[in-house]
Amino acid sequence: MSLRDLGRTLRSPAFRGRILLVAWVGAFGGLLVRAGEIQLREGAIWQAEADRQHRGQRSLPASRGGILDRDGMPLALSHEVFRVGVAPGELRDRDEAAALLVETLKISPNEARRVVTSERSWVQLPTRYEPQVRERLTPERGIYVERELTRSYPHGELGRGILGVVIDEEGTGGIEQAFEPHLRGITGTQVVSRDSQGRPIPGESWVVQPPQAGGDVVLTLDRDLQEIAHEALLEALAETGARGGDLLVTDPRTGEILAMVSIQEGSSNHLGSINSPYEPGSTLKPFTVAGLLDLGLASMSDSVDTENGRWTVGRRTVTDVSVVGKVTLSHALRVSSNVAIAKLAGAFDPLQQFELLRDFGFGVRTGIPLPGESTGLLRHPRDWSGQSAVSLSIGYEISVTPLQMAMAYGALANGGLLMEPLLVREVRAPDGQVLERHEPRVVRRVVSAESAAEVNQALVDAVQDGTGSRARLSTFQVAGKSGTARATGADGRYEAGAYFASFVGFFPAESPQLVVFVKLDRPQGAYFGGATAAPVTRATMEAVLAARHPPLDRQALATIARNQELARDPAPLNGGGVPALFASWEARSGAMAAASRSLTLPGMEVLVPEVRGLPVRTAVRQLHGLGLHVLWDGSGEIVGTRPTAGARLQAGDTVRVLGARPAPAGLRPGGSAVGSGVRTQAAMVRASGGQP
């Protein structure tokens, strides 16, 4: 074929049609082959991809374990709530659905009508609802109820620094963080169907792996004592104008922490008791004296000349507040003489002095299971200056945490044995089985029982007629020591006119059951520890004695009180035996007699007393003496109670005490419980005719 003929053939319509047909057949064949590959070879892969796009997995949070006090009362728990969503297009009868929403969720008819008539395919109600809504709404087509878990703290800010918080389902701070793996439990898995836009399809979900609840953590805290300490510290801050403060109550025999409160700049969400060290000042002197006695370097009868209350060492002059002349070591501790203690402490060699303070627990962490604990500061002798030994003997050039100080005083109260601080009693599985039980543990013997007893007697004298007299109780002997130390600013320099006022005491001195530590940060006006912190210690002890069920050995207290009564006056026994003795004790000690009597039993009927115009402490003691729980609402002068005076209640019910002014922001949301603890407001509703 010539080129001309070939060209005509290629240009002919018939040839082009055949070429086009071949191309279409080839393309169609290729599509068939590819379709076969997709269906037969790659079908499973593409099916999985489709499922992935239309179904997704999401985690199901487990119910978080509770944090309980020593008696099993919840301090933090997981609360089940429910979200409600509506698919208007799926509703069978919009009017009936609107009426059901109004009745069950207590929303307005207009809001319910807006939800059920919306043009949107899905309407999510913003509020979370209680579990009872699930039973009413789940059967209704087009209304979907989804479970959520939220963390709640039944007592508001009480112990919040110790407990911590849960943020984005993770524990932050305090016990929530320290025991996060145990409390959190094991997350479950759920498969959710999604529409073409990737949104979950209501009602189309399946639980693949159910969540496993977390376990509980039982603390040594006593809720009632925590409330007492919280309220006592709040009142002290209001009275002294202090910027903040700390209050701890411990059992020196076991090391158990019964209450621990830190408030700073109006917030109780703090752990200043373990992470804010300070220079202790005179509260450190008893340990200096205990070391001198134990090492045989001095005796309590040794005398020292304090000169005229001024003693110059090198370029430094040590001064006393009061001139006391020549005194014994015992008297020097009672009146808190800087000069006398510093002079006698010169008998230490540096390593002895350092090891003494370290053995009492200073300069090392206590091991409390909370995040952020500070070691404080205790420098090794190789880093001391020529003045360090003198400074350390009277509480300077050293920083301690409130917890370290409370445990060190506990060692003196416990016959020279330093206990490990105990905050967690038990760790429990979700079914209640005890996984770990933490028992009291002796860290070491610091000084002999004899040395501790001699120091303790001097501390009793300090409270009876020395610098701590404002911590004195009328019924039991208290041993304690006040301290006043200059406060430092952010730059590490002393602030002019800024002080830490503190007091540490334990009672009963003969056989101590409680150690109470109080520190106030920069009190205004009077700033000495004996004037500001000691009264808070006394008020706390009185409130504990007046509480309905304090963690005290009442029989031991009664024996001590009886022996003291006999020492003062044997007549009660001669005139009427033991009952007369206790009647005399009750008459003399007022509310504190509640520590050994059980006249008002739970369930007995009592009358609410008139407490308007009374000081808060007096009112609380009076109500506790009747076996009533107290909820403080407001601040300032007491203007009444709810239920009102004269109402009939049962012992164990709750009375709300009303203050003249609103509570400071952030400190008492919804009221602050005081003393014997809080159950519910049912008693108040019952006594006031249904008005809470």
* Digit-coded pLDDT (tens) for 260-296: 999 998 888 889 999 999 999 999 999 999 999 999 9
Q: What is the pLDDT of residues 409-439, one digit of tens each?
A: 999 999 999 999 999 999 999 999 999 999 9
d(CA 501, CA 478): 19
Q: Which residues contact 453 (CB under 8 A, 6 or more apart)?
A: 415
Higher-pLDDT residue of 141, 76: 76
Q: Give per-residue pLDDT as tens, 609-654.
A: 888 888 776 787 678 767 777 777 777 788 899 888 888 887 767 8
- Tokens 């508001």 label which residue? 156
3-state secondary structure 519-541: EEECCCCCCCHHHHHHHHHHHHH
Whether residue 238 is predicted with pLDDT greater than 50 in this model: the reply is yes
- Name the one residue in this structure whose structure tokens are 């070391």: 291
Specify the 3-state DSSP secondary structure of 361. coil
For residues 250-269, average pLDDT = 93
The residue-averaged pLDDT of 676-684 equals 33
The predicted pLDDT at position 547 comes to 78
pLDDT at 64 over 80: yes
**3-class DSSP state of 343:** helix
Burial of 208 (C-beta count, 10 Å sphere; 0-12/13-18/19+): exposed
| Residue 198: exposure state from Cβ atoms within 10 A (0-12, 13-18, ≥19) | exposed
**Better-predicted residue by pLDDT, 519 or 466:** 519
Q: Is the pLDDT of residue 681 over 90?
A: no
pLDDT at 198 over 70: no
Task: Work out the pLDDT band at 37, boundaries 50, 70, 90.
Answer: low
Res. 62 pLDDT band, cuts 50 70 90: confident
CB of 366 within 8 A of CB of 320?
no
Residue whose C-alpha is closest to residue 504's, from 466, 459, 474: 459
Whether the model clears a pTM of 0.85, i.e. scores above it, the answer is no
What residue has token string 């007492």? 228
pLDDT for 578 beyond 60 = no
Highest mean pLDDT among 40-49, 308-317, 667-676: 308-317
Q: What are the backbone angles phi and psi of residue 445, rounded to the nearest 5°? A: -85, 125
pLDDT at 602: 44
Among the residue ranges 74-78, 392-396, 436-440, 616-620, the one predicted with the least confidence is 616-620
Average pLDDT over the chain reads 82
Q: Mean pLDDT across the stretch 481-509?
A: 90
pLDDT at position 657 = 87
Of 484, 487, 508, the closest CA to residue 497 belongs to 487
Dist. CA 237–CA 234, nearest whole Å: 5
Q: What is the dihedral of CA 639, 643, 644, 649, to 10 degrees?
A: -130
Is the pLDDT reported for residue 447 higher than 90? yes
Instruction: State the DSSP H helix or E strand holding residue 673, giving kind and residue range, or none if neither.
Output: strand 672-674
**Is-contact 611 645, C-beta < 8 A?**
yes
Are 462 and 336 in contact by the 8 Å Cβ rule? The answer is yes
H-assigned helices in 241-371: 272-275, 285-294, 329-335, 338-344, 350-359
Q: Which of 247-261, 347-361, 478-492, 616-630 shows the lowest mean pLDDT across its residues?
A: 616-630
Tokens of 508: 């009963």
Q: What is the dihedral of CA 376, 262, 335, 387, to 10 degrees?
A: 20
The pLDDT score that the predictor gives to residue 285 is 96
Are the C-beta atoms of residues 538 and 236 closer than 8 Å to each other?
no
Instruction: Copy the structure tokens of residue 209.
Output: 């792996």
Question: Environment class of residue 357 by beta-carbon count within 10 Å: exposed (0-12), middle (13-18) or buried (19+)?
Answer: buried
Give the pLDDT confidence score for residue 674 in this predicted structure: 42
